[in-house]
Structure 1
Amino acid sequence: MAMSMCVVQAADVIQPHETDQPNVVVIMADDLGYADVGFQGCRDIRTPNIDQLASSGARFTQGYVTGCMCGPSRAGFLTGRIQSTFGYYVNASQPLNPAQGFPADTKTVAHWMQDQGYVTGGVGKWHMGTADHQRPNAMGYSDWYGFYGGGLMYFPLDHPSYDGRYLTKTKPWSVRDMHHTLPMLHNGKPVKWDQYLTRELTDGGIRFIEKNREQPFFLFVSYNAPHEYLEAPAETIAKYPPESMTEVPGVPAKNRSVYAAMVDEMDQGIGRLLETLDRLELSDNTVVWFLSDHGGMKRTSDNRPLRGAKGNAYEGGLRVPFVVSWPNRIQPGTVLDHPVTSLDIGATSLALAGGDVAQAELHGRDITAYITAQNSDAPHQELYWHVGKSPKDFSGVLREGDYKLLVKRGSAQLYNLRSDPTESNDLAKEQPQRAEHMLAKWKAWNTSNQPPLWNPGGKGANNYQYANYEWLRGTPHYKANAEPTPKPRATN
């Protein structure tokens, strides 16, 4: 059974905390396409709650994340720092290898929020490592309900549809199966659950809000949806017959059908979270952010009109659906056209909590004045990305005003995103001086990026199929004599 907690009835609601420090809720989807929510023009997937969140606050037409793959993008968001500046370039391919993931002594935005008196919580996907020093409770989260890998099967492993496939395995696990079969945990202790994963994570978020409604809180709702594997309740899939789905190049209609159901389930969960804030009279004092961790996958998602998808540095990999709602402070229906980044969420949250963004050395900007229409200036004159595997891999992006330089292993493409948001017209040969100037700036910035925290080659994967962590007992990955050996790397 899922974890239970007494639900507070409306008549017993305790008055919310009276403070200048607003609550902060960050809702992050996984692999969501740029055009796969209603406020972005989607017609075949129903997202009324996400759309209401957008219409009640502000949506960013140029909202970016720091990476085009899950791990690096989330590492940037969680720390509030560009991940290449501390050597985080690729996904952890071996989730039970303590050398992969966050280095020791990493300080996160959640740590900084704790310093300001906030209670910090998270639900869902972690993906930053499984060793003691890498787990959410060691990384600034006082309460975490979720899983440590890069995903999880959407039903418990003993679900009849799996036919025992994930309970035992004689051959080495694949990378995806390793990530998706780790247990569900609450503060490091295994819990049993018996419903669709997205619903379970929503329940976890609601419990956190109810428990901590009397003090300022920072909650990261890290949904796994709509990341593959493609799974959803049959009744939700039935709402989206394949023949009714929008034709998206490269996306099979059957995939699109299940993917739509997964987005629908996430939207329903977001609706329940927002209803909880309303019921507990917390909405007016809560800043709610919604975004995806990067662009959608080619075989499931619609990123149009943007070029590219998850895994590359075209706009379709880095620009995402991005909204913020804050009743009584943000004018409903606001549309903000200047570029912003997921790093701005941490910086703005810390500033609203009363912290010092500069002292924390966060790389984002406090955009409170921008989202509340006190200032219409662009928060950023330049934005930098590194999307390669090390500083020696010259791959990344410089966004300067309307221009975007895309560096691919040393060669450069140049686009004017104002006139060419689809990145169809490479201007590098027409404007060689601009391209050379921007490339020189990107290379100069790249000199500050750090060596990789681990070898991305993935050698020795089979050595990390198992571990002797107590929280793995009762799972296919537990072995008493399988203690991981690499020592955690400390930050400089």
Structure 2
Amino acid sequence: MSQLVRIICLSCVLTATTVRSAENVIVIMADDLGYADVGCFGCKDIPTPNIDRLAAEGVRFTSAYVTGNMCGPSRAGFLTGRHQSTFGYYQNVSQPFDPAQGLPRMDTIASLLQKQGYVTGGVGKWHMGTTNEQHPNAMGFDDWFGFLGGGLMYYPLDHPSYNGRFNPLKKPANHRDLQHTMPVIHNMEPVQWDQYLTRELTDAGVAFVERNQEQPFFLFMSYNAPHLDLEAPQETIAKFPVESVTKVPGVKPNARSIYGAMVYELDAGIGRLLAKVDELGLTGNTVVWFLSDHGGMKRTSDNRPLRGSKGNSYEGGLRVPMIVKWPGKSPAGVVLESPVTSLDIGATSLAMAGGNPVSSGLHGTDIRAYLSGQTDQAPHEVLYWHTGSYKNPEGAIREGDFKLLYQKGKPELYNLNKDIGETTDLAASQPERVRAMLSRWKEWTKNAQPELWEKSHGEYQYADYEWLKGSQHYRDKSK
């Protein structure tokens, strides 16, 4: 072997070793999961041993927040690492085939990690639009297995339990039926599937890890569970008899039973995914995050002791269960109480990969020093939310223990340290604090941009995307 060949071979080995030393990143996001619906956050009626194990081996955050109280805005914030109001994303996609609705072409956490040499994968719910420019493959994901709507029925549409409700679908269809009946796709190809959806998505996540175990990877496990509709395998529902479920105000026992089964299946899927990481010897080199995309729904979830739920800006709409396991770096079983945000996941992951969150335009904070115990300083002096519209701004600001909400032109002030349930409005008794916090929030909202889209005029019931062929949503517009 010549000296030149030896040098080239040695260079290849060093390069491969250097690349493989980067931490893999897995982000597991639940949909509509209640704050108190995980064992390590106080749940009594739904066993979640795999999520609990993640917390026992990692760090659990008690004051973790997302950037929006609805699926679309919250996920747009997470995926881009930026406050969604700064690019005009204020509402859920309501007409999935309206090309005006959804995420504009821009960098995502996935595309930024691609630039750092990562292979990037996503599984499950997208909800960011359906055009070719909005497809996950065009937004930084090398590999995508899932669905592009805001949800999906948990069984194929010809499942006997549906009694023909969705196949054929009555037209014009409402937005929920449009969202929840689109095909499962792998990149640009439709996929046939026949099992409970949460299990199908887990299979796809496991397969992605197996395929990419030799290189640094980013995997976004975007489960739609336990989002409505309430569906689970009968044998799993049987584990949650209505007389045994927790009595949650406003939640019917039967709904809680099925919801419990859905969370149980979600946890089981997470267990299977993490077991595969263990089996492949990747555990010590893989950072795993877990969170919900916002608070749980009134009809199904337990957000106590928080006030509110999905769709509003009280703690029950914005504060979520969040966990991270960073093997060898973050201490095991630690509970961190300072506020953090879903935006910090992208910033921290990019920093771990060797990128620069600030120069990349991310709004989160690199919290590695906080995670590892190198500092106990709170990562954020203040947190902001813009949960209204551009024309009618509403939202919240948190400074230390105090949180101010601004809704319908009226401020509300709460001391979260003394009143986590936001039961006592202090606005009238602390006018100076209200004025200062409201002024700071209004100054921050000057960065907001006009809505990316207004409500659709007309019906968008069909599209001619190749991946829709074979589904009842496909129509060749050229004919």
TM-score > 0.5 by shorter chain? yes
In 2, Cα distance between equivalents of 1:353 and 1:244: 46
Residue of structure 1 in register with 2:403 after alignment = 404
Q: Secondary structure of 1:89's partner?
A: coil
In 1, Cα distance between equivalents of 2:209 and 2:291: 20
Q: Secondary structure of 2:320's partner?
A: coil
Amino acid at match of 1:165: R
Unpaired segments of 5 or more residues in structure 1?
A: 1-14, 484-492
Asked if structure 2 preserves the Cα contact closer than 8 Å seen for 1:16 and 1:214, the reply is no
Moved more, 155-164 or 334-343: 155-164
- For residue 331 of structure 1, report the CA deviation from its aligned partner: 1.1
In 1, Cα distance between equivalents of 2:135 and 2:79: 12
Judging changes above 3 Å, is the alpha-carbon distance between structure 1 residues 482 and 312 closer, same or farther for their aligned structure 2 residues? farther
Matched, 1:47 2:45: no
1:29-428 to 2 correspondences below 5 Å: 29-103=30-104, 105-390=105-390, 392-428=391-427
Asked if structure 2 preserves the Cα contact closer than 8 Å seen for 1:76 and 1:82, the reply is yes
In 2, Cα distance between equivalents of 1:448 and 1:170: 42
In 2, Cα distance between equivalents of 1:195 and 1:206: 16
- Ranges of 4+ aligned residues in structure 1 off by more than 4 Å: 15-18
- For residue 459 of structure 1, report the CA deviation from its aligned partner: 3.0
Query: Residues 226-252 of structure 1, C-alpha deviation per residue, up to 9 Å, x if partnerless?
Result: 000000000000000111111000000
Amino acid at match of 1:368: R
Q: Secondary structure of 1:113's partner?
A: helix
Residue of structure 1 in register with 2:467 after alignment = 471
Q: Secondary structure of 1:444's partner?
A: helix
Asked if structure 2 preserves the Cα contact closer than 8 Å seen for 1:87 and 1:452, the reply is yes
In 2, Cα distance between equivalents of 1:196 and 1:375: 44
Asked if structure 2 preserves the Cα contact closer than 8 Å seen for 1:17 and 1:216, the reply is no
Give the % identical residues: 64
Query: Residues 166-212 of structure 1, C-alpha deviation per residue, up to 9 Å, x if partnerless?
Result: 11134311111100000000011101011000000000000000000
In 2, Cα distance between equivalents of 1:183 and 1:414: 45
In 2, Cα distance between equivalents of 1:19 and 1:335: 30
Asked if structure 2 preserves the Cα contact closer than 8 Å seen for 1:248 and 1:302, the reply is yes
In 1, Cα distance between equivalents of 2:84 and 2:433: 27
In 1, Cα distance between equivalents of 2:378 and 2:177: 43
- For residue 481 of structure 1, report the CA deviation from its aligned partner: 2.6
In 1, Cα distance between equivalents of 2:448 and 2:53: 40
In 2, Cα distance between equivalents of 1:94 and 1:175: 6
In 1, Cα distance between equivalents of 2:396 and 2:428: 18
Query: Residues 375-426 of structure 1, C-alpha deviation per residue, up to 9 Å, x if partnerless?
Result: 1100000111000122x21310111111101010321000111111110111
In 1, Cα distance between equivalents of 2:217 and 2:372: 21
Provide the TM-score with structure 1 as the length reference. 0.93
- For residue 20 of structure 1, report the CA deviation from its aligned partner: 3.7
- For residue 18 of structure 1, report the CA deviation from its aligned partner: 6.9
- For residue 482 of structure 1, report the CA deviation from its aligned partner: 8.0
In 2, Cα distance between equivalents of 1:367 and 1:293: 20
Residue of structure 1 in register with 2:26 after alignment = 25
Query: Residues 355-375 of structure 1, C-alpha deviation per residue, up to 9 Å, x if partnerless?
Result: 011110100000011011011
Alignment length (residue pairs): 464
In 2, Cα distance between equivalents of 1:99 and 1:202: 31
RMSD between aligned residues: 1.3
Residue of structure 2 in register with 1:437 after alignment = 436
Asked if structure 1 preserves the Cα contact closer than 8 Å seen for 2:339 and 2:378, the reply is yes
In 1, Cα distance between equivalents of 2:227 and 2:17: 35
In 2, Cα distance between equivalents of 1:350 and 1:268: 29
Unpaired segments of 5 or more residues in structure 2?
A: 1-15
Judging changes above 3 Å, is the alpha-carbon distance between structure 1 residues 458 and 250 closer, same or farther for their aligned structure 2 residues? farther
